Amino acid sequence: MSKIQKAYKFRLKTNRNIEEKLARFCGSARFVWNKSLAMNLERLESRQPILWYNELAFWLTLWKRSDQYGFLKECPSQVLQQKLRDLERAFRDCFDKNQPLKRIPVFKKKGSGDGIRFPQGFKIDNRRIFLPIIGWIGFYKSCHISGTVKNITVSTKGGKWYVSIQVEQMLETGKHSTESEIGIDAGIKCFAAFSDGTMVEGVHSFRKHEDLLAREQRKLARKRKGSENWKRQRRKIAELHHTIANVRSDFLHKLSTGISQNHATVYVERLQIKNMSSSARGTIEEPGRKVKAKSGLNKSILDQGWFEFRRQLAYKLSWQGGRMVEVEYRHTSQMCSCCGHTSKENRKTQAVFRCLACGHEENADVNAAKNILTVGQTGMACEANRMSGRQQEPAGNREEILSQAC
Ligand SMILES: [Zn+2]
């Protein structure tokens, strides 16, 4: 048994009145964050110790009593206190030597990363949620909520309001219900190809909406900046971006859930997405080749969220008692899945694989997926690594090799 954290996100059924109140809550929370942050930054500047939660909470009560900041009283206290806790966390993280990537917290702007958390004071009753001061709000319950509810966060994006319900679940980490193993390759013509021959078409959500987006953006450029029409158009674009993100997210979640339920072990190629998208252009000394074709490929990889897909797949598999194994082997796209003959010549076009040795012909992405499965299952990748000097230990049995290298 192990504990996992999970969040469910649902769209709230808001009306103008509720939206105005929520927006005011967000505004107050943002104000408290920014004001406390400003105080602390000043103190850092003058080499004074920064204020932690307790001192800041004291300041908060003073602000609430003042005429100037009296509006803070209209917002539930826990929401504002939570912002102070978040700020304390952010400062502790940025001074933590174990988290070198954390930076000094920044001021929050209206509309970006606006979210308010309710650590308590809320209630959930089937399809509605109770928030302090506001009361009951319905939400579009798209799936069952299981686990112990820890807290909820209300946020807005693209003019819509959402609630994210954070729960803690006890998970039985048993065996996966199947023993199925599968290899998956990022396709060039499709989103993904499986070693069993399945090809998954991508949504190409961005491409499909790209023209529309470009047209709307041109319209925006023609409008006077700051005018009512300009604002309306800007909202329209924000909504379009939002739609694209939703379509993509839905596609990835459905696909990763299905795979994690049907297969216990999933082999994927170790990918360096960053390298792939930066290397095409090359350097001044060594300009890249086929820059245009490569940037197209990179774009579609980034567009379709292959990276996010793998991330989801990994955690969903672990919930099911399965696992994802990364395979490192360079020739998966040039090797024949039938006889093992490896040659560049095998791949005349991007879509079709034709073996020069045995004449085997197959979709190139499926062939690569089969190779990934074989390489993963036999530990060939590890052999290859050992030969290239990465791993010097003598080979053991298959499990040993796999656990050493992968
Ligand atoms: Zn062959």
Report pLDDT digits (tens) over 311-358: 899 999 988 889 999 988 778 888 898 888 888 888 877 788 898 888
Q: What residues form DSSP beta bridges with 3? A: 170
For residue 237, count CB atoms less than 10 angstroms from its CB and return exposed for 0-12, middle for 13-18, buried for 19 or more.
Answer: middle
Sequence-separated (6 or more) residues with CB below 8 Å from residue 108? 30, 33, 34, 114
In angstroms, what is the span from residue 254 Cα to ligand 1's centroid? 35
Report d(CA 39, CA 206) in Å as an integer.
42
Q: What are phi and psi of 168, to 5 degrees?
A: -115, 130
Decide: residue 164, CB within 10 A, 0-12 exposed, 13-18 middle, 19+ buried: middle
* Strand boundaries in 81-229, DSSP class E: 115-118, 123-125, 128-131, 135-139, 148-157, 160-171, 181-186, 192-194, 199-200
pLDDT at 394: 36
- The per-residue pLDDT for 122 is 93
Quote the crossing angle between the two packed helices 16-45 and 53-65, to the nearest 10°.
120
Confirm whether 185 is a catalytic residue: yes
* Catalytic-labelled residue, pool 88, 114, 185, 303: 185
Please write the tens of the pLDDT for every residue from 159-196. Answer: 889 999 999 988 777 788 888 999 998 876 778 899 99
Report the SS3 class of residue 231. Answer: helix
Ligand 1 mean position, distance from CA 356 (Å)? 7
Q: How many angstroms separate the alpha carbon of residue 336 from the centre of ligand 1?
A: 5
Token pair in block for residue 246: 């939703």
Residue count (the chain): 406
Q: Is the pLDDT of residue 244 over 90?
A: no
Cα(366) to ligand 1 centroid in Å equals 14
Residue 113, pLDDT score: 63
Q: Which of 99, 83, 89, 107 is nearest to 29 (CA)?
A: 83
Residue pointed to by tokens 């966060």: 153
Instruction: Note if 269 is an active site residue.
Output: yes
Q: Catalytic residue among 88, 114, 269, 303, which? A: 269
148-152, 264-268, 384-388: least confident range: 384-388
DSSP 282: B
- Residue 199 above 70 pLDDT? yes
**Residue range 373-392, pLDDT digits in tens:** 998 888 765 544 444 443 33
**How far separated are the first and last CA of the chain, in Å rounded?**
25
Active-site choice (210, 365, 393, 400): 365
pLDDT score, position 402: 37
Determine the Cα–Cα distance for residues 51 and 179; give it in Å rounded to an integer. Answer: 55
- Residue 81 Cα to ligand 1 midpoint, Å, equals 66
Cα(335) to ligand 1 centroid in Å equals 8
Which are the contacts of 37, defined by CB distance < 8 A and separation ≥ 6? Answer: 87, 105, 106, 107
Q: Is the per-residue pLDDT at 302 higher than 70?
A: no
Cα 305 to Cα 191: distance, rounded to the nearest angstrom: 9
Name the E strands within 270-349.
323-327
- The whole-angstrom separation of Cα 117 and Cα 277 is 37
DSSP 41: H
Query: Is residue 148 a contact partner of residue 168, using CB atoms and an 8 Å limit?
Result: yes
